[in-house]
Amino acid sequence: MPNSRLQGVMKRAVFGFASVSLSAMAANAQEAPRVPSFNLHGSPGLIDMPTAETAPDATLSTTFSYVGDTMRSTIGFQITPRLAGYFRYTALANFVDNDDWDDVYFDRSFDVSYQILRESKYRPALTLGMRDVLGTGLYSAEYLVATKTLSPGLKVTGGIGWGRLGSYNSFASAGTRSDITLELGGIPTYDRWFRGDISAFGGVSYAPNDRWNFKLEYSSDAYANEVGAGQIERTSPWNFGIDYRFKNGNQLSLYHVHGTEVGAQFTLSTNPKFQGIPGGVEPAGVAIKPRNPSEIADLGWTLDANASSNAKNALGVLAAKEGLVVEAVKLENHRATVRLVNPRFGAPSQAIGRLARTMSRSMPASIEEFVIVPIANGVPMSAVILKRSDLERLEHESADKMLAEASIIDGYNLGLKPNDGLYPKFEWRLAPYVDMSVFNPSQPVKLDVGVRASAEYYIRPNIVLEGSITKKLAGNLDKEGRSDESALPRVRTDNDIYSREGDPAIEYLQVAAYGRPGRNLYSRLSVGYLERMYGGVSAELLWKPVNSRFALGAELNYIQRRDYDQLFGFQDMTTVDPETGAKYDIPHVNGHISAYYDLGNGFHGQLDVGRYLAGDYGGTISIDREFANGWKVGAYATFTNVSAEDFGEGSFDKGLRFYIPLAPFIGQPSRKVNPVTIQSLSRDGGARLNVRGRLYEETREYHEPEIAKSWGRFWR
């Protein structure tokens, strides 16, 4: 049995990983395609060995497995129909001789696999995979595997492996291969790939029905490190297992492996593509009201001030019932221009469609052109121009036909001034919060829970005073990490001190001003306590044409480090390494130039180049896969002029991020999103200021490419 330290560690790790996978426990709005069996490493496979199968496109899985004194947690994502990636966190008890860690060794690794050939009537599926391409090398292995369905439920698998998968009963060699475990990790070990001994592995699985699956495999992994450390005893390469699949697709497995060990595994799986569309049970929008042809040419209303006022008031009332805010309306003989704020719908096209319906019921009959100007941060984003006759003609046709008739142009100079009495405006809320840090070697999951009070005072539509105060109720973020050593200014690794001394704390308190300095241009200026560790001034400028997939931005920050208590004071910008006494200065100035591009097919890329908090220079590459229902799954990596040795464990900053919308789970429209970021390790290199209100996301939301993506919601 594993020791109590390992059990406690992995309970916390399970909690952290499960925060990403809660969606898997929710009932899908649509039934997702059936997923294959997952193995102990969290990828499609038999027991320990891989198969050539792939999960359905966009499958997001989380696997928790336990064998002997080893526990693994793996997050997997089917990036494309053929390409998949897996991030794994492993705790091995009795693996190292270190009393401070209670003999528990923690390992992070990343795998990729690509299906070269799909299975056909006569041809097996063929997949090329690599384990631990970014990690310490403990699980480093490459493989080529084929899987064929022989009859319903019966599948056979065979493959060859290198590295760990070539360590037992090898039949050939491809040169020498280092087996040294890297202390820092995080660096691709190119010199090992497809080198060393080569072994064969294989197995068979039989599923008599949709619930049960029986598996037998021959493993080519000798588990030399674990056997050598005395962690396990391995007497046989034959492993046996049984899966039970729940109705929702989740998998529970029991195994007998190595001839001596018993193991168990649980896999949660979900698919963002099939998590439903935001909303769905909310009341339908009002029907389009056709005009009487005899009234279309009647302009008599233009001579009656009450008629114009009544039309504007009626629109405001109808829009409010839809959860929309009409801040201003301008009526002309044949055109109505509306200033729209959307606090409810995550899909911008649904907000536009709902407003267009209400306009058809409230605007005078002579008005043929509806100009809807979405407002974000108090400034106009775009202008969506719709013909009323098209709305009347196409209400019961597909949304695509309406999109073909619509025009989307820059909203610059089209933003009406809001009606009197709307500003200044005050909003506030009280809610619980969770602040989490993962993968610190001695504290795999650290988190604080508490209460957050936040408020916004809109001095003008585009100028807001905002702040947040937190009170911690419980947590362990204040616990020190394994080592205080840092070869860089401590811009992030003193997070434990901020957590310990900042209770209660002012998370942020700033004034932010947003603007449109020119066509295709957007601006932001933020002043105050910008985040929990830094205050100062942050300025941003974004160039984003309304019809373009490409955008450019620039951000410049002047900062001062806040006091640890996170109240109103500041401290100097010099940090001291408690291990060596070395002093490091944090620079006041940092910033980035950013390029954004919509790659198509739901993929979005971003490149940030500039100076980071610790004074290091470099760039961050981010790739996200985005779904029409608001889900996003992505990854990022930051490379700077800081060496791997100076950066410390992990070698460079990298991580996964998930944006989980609330709407698909509550069945009602909502703009709330739960962002989850999993960093491989929080270090000082590649750290960036966490300033609020960055321009790009809200700006592109109301531009043509994004509106078009969600246009299927226009008639909802």
Q: With 50 as the cut, is the pLDDT of residue 104 above it?
A: yes
Q: What is the mean pLDDT of residues 450-471?
A: 97
Alpha carbon of 574 to those of 190, 559, 562: distances in Å?
38, 13, 12
Supply the CATH classification number for the domain 4-274. Answer: 2.40.160.40
| Angle (CA) 288 291 294, round 5° | 175
Work out the pLDDT band at 447, boundaries 50, 70, 90: confident
Q: What is the pLDDT of residue 101?
A: 45
**Coil, strand, or helix at residue 702?**
coil
Q: With 70 as the cut, is the pLDDT of residue 513 above it?
A: yes
Report the alpha-carbon distance of residue 384 to residue 409 in Å, rounded.
7
Partnered with residue 253 across adjacent β-strands are: 243, 265
Supply the CATH classification number for the domain 293-421. Answer: 3.30.300
Contact 697, 377 (CB under 8 A): no
Q: What is the 3-state secondary structure (H, E, C) of 659-678?
A: EEECHHHHCCCCCCEEEEEE
Domain boundaries in the chain?
Answer: 4-274, 293-421, 433-460+462-692
Q: With 70 as the cut, is the pLDDT of residue 11 above it?
A: no
Other C-beta atoms lying within 10 Å of the C-beta of residue 85? 18
Q: With 60 as the cut, is the pLDDT of residue 16 above it?
A: no
Q: What is the pLDDT of residue 162?
A: 97
Q: What is the pLDDT of residue 482?
A: 45
Report the alpha-carbon distance of residue 699 to residue 49 in Å, rounded.
46
Q: What is the pLDDT of residue 487?
A: 80
Report the alpha-carbon distance of residue 704 to residue 701 in Å, rounded.
8
How many CA atoms lie less than 13 Å away from 572 in the CB half-sphere? 6
Contact 111, 102 (CB under 8 A): no
Q: What is the pLDDT of residue 276?
A: 63
Work out the pLDDT band at 268, boundaries 50, 70, 90: very high
Q: What is the pLDDT of residue 440?
A: 63
- Residue with the bigger pLDDT between 69 and 452: it is 452
Running DSSP on this structure, what letter comes out for residue 193?
A: T
Q: What is the mean pLDDT of residues 56-64?
A: 95
% of the chain residues with pLDDT over 70: 90
Q: What is the mean pLDDT of residues 561-587?
A: 92
For residue 532 the two structure tokens come to: 């929990």
Q: What is the mean pLDDT of residues 45-63?
A: 96
Same fold, 293-421 and 433-460+462-692: no
Report the alpha-carbon distance of residue 233 to residue 235 in Å, rounded.
7
Work out the pLDDT band at 281, boundaries 50, 70, 90: low
DSSP E strands: which ranges in 441-520? 443-460, 463-475, 505-515
Q: Over the stretch 601-618, which tens digit does the pLDDT of each residue have?
A: 999 999 999 999 999 999
Q: Over the stretch 198-253, which tens digit does the pLDDT of each residue have?
A: 999 999 999 999 999 999 999 999 999 889 888 889 999 999 999 999 988 899 99
Q: What is the pLDDT of residue 475?
A: 83
Q: What is the pLDDT of residue 594?
A: 98
Running DSSP on this structure, what letter comes out for residue 38?
A: B
- 357's enclosing H/E stretch is helix 348-362
Q: What is the pLDDT of residue 136?
A: 82
Helix residue spans in 476-628 (DSSP H): 495-501
Q: What is the pLDDT of residue 275?
A: 74
Least confident residue range of 139-148, 356-365, 487-496: 487-496
Work out the pLDDT band at 481, boundaries 50, 70, 90: low
Q: What is the pLDDT of residue 6?
A: 47
* pLDDT, averaged across the chain: 89
Q: What is the pTM of this model?
A: 0.90
Q: What is the pLDDT of residue 155?
A: 98
Q: What is the pLDDT of residue 516?
A: 97
Q: With 70 as the cut, is the pLDDT of residue 574 above it?
A: yes
% of the chain residues with pLDDT over 90: 70
Contact 86, 111 (CB under 8 A): yes
Picking from 411, 408, 365, the residue whose alpha carbon sits closest to that of residue 388 is: 365
Contact 362, 311 (CB under 8 A): yes
Work out the pLDDT band at 27, boundaries 50, 70, 90: very low
129-134 long-range Cβ contacts below 8 angstroms, 24+ apart: 129/43, 129/50, 130/193, 131/41, 131/163, 131/164, 131/165, 132/189, 133/188, 133/189, 133/193, 134/109, 134/110, 134/185, 134/186, 134/187, 134/188, 134/654
Q: What is the pLDDT of residue 483?
A: 47
Other C-beta atoms lying within 10 Å of the C-beta of residue 262? 12
For residue 187 the two structure tokens come to: 């660096």
Least confident residue range of 17-31, 142-156, 243-257: 17-31
Find the Cα–Cα–Cα–Cα dihedral 676, 681, 682, 686, rounded to 10°: -100
Supply the CATH classification number for the domain 433-460+462-692. Answer: 2.40.160
